[in-house]
Amino acid sequence: MKRIDLDDLPPKLAALLAGTEAGEEVLLVQNGAVVGRLTGAAAGPAPPTQADPQQTPEERAREVFEQFRASIEDEF
């Protein structure tokens, strides 16, 4: 999957992409020809869940580390 960081784009373009509603399409056009199509999705990831109150600090630390490791592996 390719990724576009909105912080790297001109502000007007970043605002257009960030403002795209779920199901709305944005056409990518070059020299009058459509070269791509982006479809808006639901905004943002789901909010984080509350930590299990019966989970020990060691178990919580292990879970956080595993999530961090997985995100690093996904990135590279």
Tens place of pLDDT per residue across the chain (76 aa): 778 888 898 999 888 888 888 889 989 899 999 999 888 877 655 556 666 667 788 888 888 888 878 787 766 6
Q: What pLDDT sits at residue 48? A: 60
Q: Does residue 68 lie in a domain region?
A: no
When divided into structural domains, the chain yields a total of 1
Question: What is the DSSP pairing of strand 25-30 with strand 33-39?
Answer: antiparallel
Residue 27: partners with Cβ closer than 8 Å, 6 or more residues away: 34, 36, 37
- Model's pTM, two decimal places? 0.47
Residue 42 CA, distance from chain mean position? 11
Q: Does residue 16 lie in a domain region?
A: yes
Instruction: Give the domain extent around 21.
Output: 6-39
Q: Does residue 29 lie in a domain region?
A: yes
Q: 10-31: per-residue pLDDT in tens? A: 999 888 888 888 889 989 899 9
> What's the rounded Cα separation, in Å, for the pair 40 and 32?
22
Q: Cβ–Cβ contacts within 10 Å for residue 71, how many?
A: 9
